[in-house]
Amino acid sequence: MKAKEIEILKNNGIDTLYQLILRYVAISDDEWKYCQSKFSSSYFPKKTMLLDQNQVCDKIFFIASGLLRIYFSDERGEEKTFHFCMENTFATDYESFLKNIPSNFSIQALENSVVIIVTHEMLQSLYVTLRDGEKLGRLITEDYFFMLNEKIKAFYMHSPMERYKAMNIQFPGLMQRVPQYYIASYLNISPVHLSRLKYTLKKKNPNG
Amino acid sequence: MKAKEIEILKNNGIDTLYQLILRYVAISDDEWKYCQSKFSSSYFPKKTMLLDQNQVCDKIFFIASGLLRIYFSDERGEEKTFHFCMENTFATDYESFLKNIPSNFSIQALENSVVIIVTHEMLQSLYVTLRDGEKLGRLITEDYFFMLNEKIKAFYMHSPMERYKAMNIQFPGLMQRVPQYYIASYLNISPVHLSRLKYTLKKKNPNG
């Protein structure tokens, strides 16, 4: 990627974050100028590791463009995909970040990605400086709480087919961007089972 | 229970909540007086339903004394215990509460319980009135986010034995207070499997 293209993507990333913040709270021009002076964004080529399992996760990543994967290795060394992080969402191990403890997860770029990095120091300064900083923090935490809550309800209450359908709603277009074995691992089913689900749906809705 | 005993329990409940808030943020005497004027607590005899599945959960319950259980019925009508709520913790379906959507859960008193009830209107007025109201909200939400996060990690990464041990740390003394089939249901194992876990541990540590 050329330097100029990266620069455009970075600026675009900052604008995207601005739009996201506005969905939660009001923010004045001065406040936003302050934010801009704090935020920095980085370009990570496909396959870059942004966090290694057992490392402390000391950053929150806002994905301006690209795609990240959060995963872990189980006791048999098998990789399990925990979450996909698409454009305009955050990726982090929030517990590791807040408690300064080793993470159980790894985070990797599945595509070339432009990511805005938020550190502890930046987050604290936003909480203190923005009039609605704490509120912004609360509302975003609530949204990620909902995400975990859905995940747990899916475990208890939803069939693999329902989980597959929910995944396609949560991550539109993901199926075309990601190797199928990551998808199967995310759904906690075998790749063969995943093929069968796709086949069943296709038979029901051949033009879908 | 006599009226006077209930009154003592209620006051004690308010004090307990005060101590809990102080663990998160500073609060002035005036602010606390304002809170006291807002909070009300209620006595629920054992077996009372505080929330029915499919109802909107429009309250947050702070348990001053007693024990609540959050559970749901699966598609076969079988009850699954999702969470136990002990003294000094909150019980709610936070997603149902915040989004005003029907809850997938029921909440029931497993023991006679004194509970402080927080409504939407009260919560919003706390956010606006307390200097650190939003911060308090964020920090408590973070703690409940951690709880869900642990639950998910337990699903993926922990054996039934590890989940059993973690439960005993999270809910000290619970084993003596709750029917064993609720415990088995919470651990997502059969009652026979639970007996086997207890037996294995007892053999390893006969005086434990």
pLDDT for position A70: 96
**Which pair of structure tokens corresponds to residue A154?**
């899916």
pLDDT for position B155: 80
pLDDT for position B208: 55
d(CA A24, CA A18): 10
Tracing tokens 């795609």 back to the chain, one arrives at A67
Q: What are the residues facing B118 on neighbouring strands?
A: B60
Would an 8 Å CB–CB cutoff place B24 in contact with chain A? no
d(CA A76, CA A66): 30
pLDDT in tens, B114-127: 999 999 999 999 99
pLDDT for position A207: 66
d(CA B88, CA B107): 16
**Which pair of structure tokens corresponds to residue B134?**
């939003």
| Interchain contact, B157 vs A75, CB within 8 Å | yes
- Nearest chain A residue (CA) to B83: A152
Residue B68 pLDDT > 90, yes or no? yes
**Which pair of structure tokens corresponds to residue A3?**
């330097």
Binning pLDDT at 50, 70 and 90, where does residue A102 land? very high
d(CA A162, CA A166): 6
- Nearest chain A residue (CA) to B93: A149
- Nearest chain A residue (CA) to B76: A157
pLDDT for position B1: 64
pLDDT in tens, A107-160: 999 999 999 999 999 999 999 999 999 999 999 999 999 989 888 888 878 889
Would an 8 Å CB–CB cutoff place A131 in contact with chain B? no
Buried b or exposed e, range A7-43, using 16+ CB within 10 angstroms: eebbeebbebbeeebeebbebeeebbebbeeebebbb
Binning pLDDT at 50, 70 and 90, where does residue A5 land? low
Would an 8 Å CB–CB cutoff place B15 in contact with chain A? no
- The burial class, CB within 10 Å (0-12 / 13-18 / 19+), for A100 is exposed
pLDDT in tens, B133-174: 999 999 999 999 998 888 888 887 888 999 999 999 999 999
Name every chain B residue with its beta carbon within 8 A of the beta carbon of A132. Answer: 134
Would an 8 Å CB–CB cutoff place B131 in contact with chain A? no
| Interchain contact, B141 vs A138, CB within 8 Å | yes
For each of the domains in chain B, give its residue range(s) and CATH number, in order of start: 3-131 (2.60.120.10)
This complex has an ipTM of 0.81
- The count of other CB atoms within 10 Å of the CB of residue B78 is 9
Report the mean per-residue pLDDT for chain B.
Answer: 90
Do residues A164 and B81 touch, judged by C-beta distance below 8 A? Answer: no
Helix axes A120-129, A29-38, angle to 10 degrees: 170
Name every chain B residue with its beta carbon within 8 A of the beta carbon of A144. Answer: 145
Lowest-confidence pick of A2-11, A74-83, B82-91, B123-132: A2-11
Name every chain B residue with its beta carbon within 8 A of the beta carbon of A156. Answer: 72, 74, 80, 82
pLDDT for position A1: 63
Q: What are the residues facing A40 on neighbouring strands?
A: A117
Name every chain A residue with its beta carbon within 8 A of the beta carbon of B146. Answer: 95, 99
Residue A23 pLDDT > 80, yes or no? yes
